[in-house]
Amino acid sequence: MGAEAEAEAPPTEYFIIRPKKIRLIDILSLLILRKSLTSYKFVDSSGTAKDGLRADWVTALTLLIMKVLDKIKVPLKWIGIIVEFIFNLFELNGGIGIIWRIITGKLVIPKRDSADFRSMIALIDGRQDLYKNNSLLHYFPLMEPQAGFDDINLLDITAMAAKIAYENPAYIENTVTNHWKMHFVGFYDCWNKFLEEKTTQAFIFCNKAEDADLIVLSFRGTEPFNAQDWSTDVDLSTLLAGKLGLLHLGFLKALGLQNETNFILGFPTSIEMNADKPVAYYILRQELRNLLAKHKNAKIIVTGHSLGGALSAVFPALLSYHNQNDILNSMHSVMNYGQPRVGDAIFKSYVNVLMRVKYQRMVYRYDIVPRIPFDLPPLSNFTHCGKCIYFDGWYKGKVVDEVPNPNYFLEPLSVPRMYLTAWGDLFRAFFIGYTAGKDFKEGIASILYRLTGLVLPGIACHSPRDYVNSVRLAKIENTLFV
């Protein structure tokens, strides 16, 4: 858009936190002097957004977390690279057998772009095959009949797609093609204009190469060693998106926002893309349209875990905003796992009307990510859309409007139970392979990850492994959505 179009765009409301500008003295000042939040240099706002609002200790803690994450993003990235390399080195060389391979000169060196290289997520849960048990108890109570999808377990395939979205393109294509016997369409590594790098990844596949019944779009989630991803999850920055309401700015940027202070300019109906810098929303929208032209009776499911779940929630709302009815009419559902909050009450109402019973999210126990950003008006006006399947206990699910302890640590009486849960999950991990079958056996990486729950319980509960297990071992109360 040119300068003339920009001048015609109506004003909008925005509130932006700049992590690089946050100083420790600012955080102390927020608590002691109680000045207006918008008076600080690390905040950009429209002048009306949050004007005159004083921050509380939760806000101060959020800012501190964002500051720390900004400082450690480079060393954390390198820690991740080293840890993943070491784990893959041992796995590719037979564990302790690595000694013999070194002696015989047959050592296999891991390559990050190869089909056998696993990210930390796949090291925690290396399962690639779909589950063979098609018992109806594995489906959400609200799910419409699966006519046309043959024997596909939609929960299992979306949970697995959300999990393998963390892997490299070769790994994903190998899983879809050789393990699932389905048609891999493409992997999309997309540009974030504001971070000036490719930070958003997604992939698409169909259940068949010809006359497909099902098209799945899966977004990559919050990577364990990516501080920027974690900072985005807790960020309180927002942008008023017209009839969509107030939306999380970081998630909009991840989908391809072009202007951070004006939604109309930020998401025009179409844009000209640089082939080397594809923009997530626009390239994925076009790919789905192309697929629907080929597979005229296919239905689309959008999924993701963590940050990927957030993107899966906003994506159909953007389609609706741009009246992309050809795609929306073919939308079967959004099914996501461990999704953070993405918008305010207006956005919630919009999505609930748009998707009706087609929007389903799953939360495992005390997973911290679905409980952020905090739902604490007037500063943090974030809430969840629809209802969810909440798993309390060992994979016993029930339909709820909101999970217990919705703001995580703000209910002190729940803290002892959270730690008991972490100990229980750790204890069960040693025996689940015997009680539930070898498909559920946990390795050293998963056990080590569960140990983080003894420090911060909500982190361990966020593992995609538990979401896949929840789908496969689910006993969901027969409660219908209303």
Does residue 69 sit within a domain? Answer: no
Cα 15 from Cα 362, distance rounded (Å): 29
Cα-to-chain-centroid distance, residue 354: 21
- Output the six-digit token pair for 366: 């005390």
Decide: 95 and 250 in contact? Cβ < 8 Å. no
pLDDT score of 355: 80
Does residue 5 sit within a domain? Answer: no
Decide: 358 and 329 in contact? Cβ < 8 Å. no
Of 375, 374, 364, the closest CA to residue 453 belongs to 364
Cα 74 from Cα 477, distance rounded (Å): 45
Does residue 361 sit within a domain? Answer: yes
- DSSP state at residue 167: S
Does residue 113 sit within a domain? Answer: no
pLDDT score of 8: 56
Decide: 205 and 216 in contact? Cβ < 8 Å. yes
Sign of CA dihedral 455, 458, 464, 466: positive
Q: Which domain holds residue 191?
A: 127-230+249-476
Cα 93 from Cα 389, distance rounded (Å): 40
Q: Is 433 exposed, middle or buried (0-12, 13-18, 19+ CB in 10 A)?
A: middle
Q: How many domains does the chain have?
A: 1
Active site residues: 306, 367, 462
Q: Is 56 exposed, middle or buried (0-12, 13-18, 19+ CB in 10 A)?
A: middle
**Per-position pLDDT tens, the chain of length 482:** 444 444 455 668 899 999 999 999 988 888 888 788 888 899 998 867 667 777 778 888 888 999 999 999 999 999 999 999 999 999 999 888 888 888 888 899 999 999 999 999 999 999 999 987 644 444 444 445 444 566 788 889 999 999 999 999 999 999 999 999 999 999 999 999 998 999 999 999 999 999 999 999 999 998 889 988 888 888 889 999 999 999 999 999 999 999 999 999 999 999 998 889 999 999 999 999 999 999 999 999 999 999 999 999 999 999 999 999 999 999 999 999 999 999 999 999 999 888 876 888 999 999 999 998 988 888 888 999 888 889 887 677 888 888 888 888 777 778 888 899 899 999 999 999 999 889 999 999 999 999 999 998 888 999 999 999 988 887 765 443 33
Half-sphere exposure of 160 (CA within 13 A, CB side): 20
Does residue 323 sit within a domain? Answer: yes
- Output the six-digit token pair for 398: 């029930």
Hunting for tokens 């993943």 — which residue is that?
84
Cα 356 from Cα 101, distance rounded (Å): 57
Cα 423 from Cα 460, distance rounded (Å): 11
User: What is the maximal distance between C-alpha atoms in the chain?
Assistant: 71
pLDDT score of 429: 93
Q: Specify the 3-state DSSP secondary structure of 258.
A: coil
pLDDT score of 138: 45
Of 239, 235, 240, 224, the closest CA to residue 374 belongs to 235
Does residue 32 sit within a domain? Answer: no
Cα 304 from Cα 436, distance rounded (Å): 25
Of 208, 209, 237, 232, the closest CA to residue 221 belongs to 232
Q: Specify the 3-state DSSP secondary structure of 90.
A: helix
Does residue 328 sit within a domain? Answer: yes
pLDDT score of 275: 87
Question: What CATH code is carried by the domain that includes residue 415?
Answer: 3.40.50
Does residue 395 sit within a domain? Answer: yes
